[in-house]
């Protein structure tokens, strides 16, 4: 059975992009794979976090995994910082990573621009820690959104390099990216991806937004010039993005939606229907989240058990790595 590994960083409230690009696919994949899903809290520390709210943010991601349908009987669910081998392997991989290959990372360049004043080493090293996350579990495939492909490529490069230097150790992982939903764009700016840390909340729909907020955000979502509701990501990127969200939320084909709104006088009806589709799509997940709110102990136990299982695999890999490089 092949292994999949993926994670989300608790850097803010999860949005539709995180769900459609990543988590929704994990739920399906867990049935045919040995699955390891992590809340990557150490990654989130690469941008400033308030210690008073960080714990809640970390737990909220784990809750979303469970509410979305990740099954702890089938998948290992845990918090990254509970398995020290992630940081340990990151250090070893740092010693075979090259500065120019990290300087090329798009996410680093974008975030470095946003965090000019507090640019820290962690932000630069983020992809190496992510490589450690992936390689520790001898992962075959990493289900992610499009923005993470470059980081998975680096994990491949480091795995190959390590194997070349020290002998066959790591499985060479590949990114698993579904075409639909791999890059949901910001509602306020369809030229940039929807992002938790976007400066404005108008950029995203979070998985916990109320129906009123969802309606309001979609009403305000930017549109393109003209009135046609057609899927053309180059000429009509905003409408193409809204059509993608509509299609994934409703389970209907984009062609059907285009036909339905072919004679629409403007965007109002389309936006209303889209809002209702998103509200209904998120309803079951939001209901499950409420149930989990009153069950924190159960969730902590799941995370504890998950960390134990993860540690067994990770410590075995670290032992192998240490032997290979000659550490005592």
- How many whole angstroms separate alpha carbon 16 and alpha carbon 147? 15
Nearer to ligand AQP, 183 or 311 (CB): 183
Whole-Å CA distances, 137 to 6, 58, 171: 11, 21, 9
Report in angstroms how near the CB of residue 113 gets to ligand AQP at its nearest.
13
Contact 88, 8 (CB under 8 A): no
* Count of residues interacting with ligand AQP (CB under 6 A): 21
Report in angstroms how near the CB of residue 158 gets to ligand AQP at its nearest.
18
- The answer to the question of residue 175 lying near ligand AQP (CB under 6 A) is no
Nearer to ligand AQP, 221 or 321 (CB): 221
Nearer to ligand AQP, 197 or 315 (CB): 197
- How many whole angstroms separate alpha carbon 250 and alpha carbon 306? 33
What does the per-residue mask of binding to ligand AQP show for 132-151, with x meaning CB under 6 A? ------------xx-xx---
Give the pair of three-digit tokens for residue 29.
């994949």
Report in angstroms how near the CB of residue 8 gets to ligand AQP at its nearest.
4
- How many whole angstroms separate alpha carbon 248 and alpha carbon 251? 5
What does the per-residue mask of binding to ligand AQP show for 1-40, with x meaning CB under 6 A? -------xx-xx----xx--xx------------------
Q: Helix (H, G, I), strand (E, B), or coil: what is residue 142?
A: strand
Residue in 35, 75, 80, 195 binding ligand AQP, rule: CB under 6 A:
195
CB half-sphere exposure, 237, CA atoms < 13 A: 12
| Other beta carbons within 10 Å of 288 | 16
Report in angstroms how near the CB of residue 157 gets to ligand AQP at its nearest.
19
Give the pair of three-digit tokens for residue 51.
């210690």
Nearer to ligand AQP, 19 or 261 (CB): 19
Q: Is 307 exposed, middle or buried (0-12, 13-18, 19+ CB in 10 A)?
A: buried
| Other beta carbons within 10 Å of 237 | 16
Residues taking part in catalysis: 111, 193, 196
Contact 226, 236 (CB under 8 A): yes
Residue in 57, 178, 193, 236 binding ligand AQP, rule: CB under 6 A:
193
Interface residues with ligand AQP (CB under 6 A) are 8-9, 11-12, 17-18, 21-22, 144-145, 147-148, 181-184, 193-197
């Amino acid at each position: 059975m092949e292994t999949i590994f993926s994670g989300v960083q608790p850097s803010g409230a999860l949005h539709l992009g995180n769900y459609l690009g990543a988590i929704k696919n994990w739920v399906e994949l867990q049935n045919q794979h040995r699955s390891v899903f992590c809340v990557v809290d150490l990654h989130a520390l690469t941008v400033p976090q308030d210690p008073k709210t960080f714990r809640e943010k970390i737990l909220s991601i784990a809750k979303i995994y469970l509410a979305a349908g990740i099954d702890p009987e089938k998948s290992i669910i845990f918090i990254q910082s509970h398995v020290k081998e992630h940081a340990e392997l990151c250090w070893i991989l740092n010693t075979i990573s090259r500065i120019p290959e990290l300087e090329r990372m798009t996410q680093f360049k974008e975030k470095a621009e946003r965090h000019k004043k507090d640019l820290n080493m962690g932000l630069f090293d983020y992809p190496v820690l992510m490589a450690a996350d992936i390689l520790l579990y001898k992962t075959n495939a990493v289900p992610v959104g499009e923005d993470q492909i470059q980081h998975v490529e680096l994990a491949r490069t480091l795995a190959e390099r390590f194997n070349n230097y020290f002998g066959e150790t790591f499985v060479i992982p590949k990114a698993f990216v579904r075409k639909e939903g791999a890059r949901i764009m910001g509602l306020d700016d369809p030229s940039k991806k929807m992002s938790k840390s976007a400066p404005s909340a108008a950029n995203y729909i979070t998985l916990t937004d109320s129906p009123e907020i969802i309606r309001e955000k979609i009403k305000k979502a930017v549109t393109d010039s003209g009135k046609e509701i057609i899927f053309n990501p180059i000429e009509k990127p905003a409408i193409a993005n809204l059509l993608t969200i509509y299609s994934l939320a409703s389970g209907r084909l984009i062609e059907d939606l285009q036909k339905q709104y072919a004679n629409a006088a403007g965007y109002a009806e389309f936006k209303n229907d889209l809002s209702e589709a998103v509200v209904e799509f998120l309803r079951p997940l939001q209901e499950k989240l409420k149930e989990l709110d009153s069950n924190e102990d159960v969730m902590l136990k799941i995370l504890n058990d998950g960390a134990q299982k993860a540690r067994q695999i990770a410590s075995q890999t670290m032992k192998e790595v240490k032997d290979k490089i000659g550490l005592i």
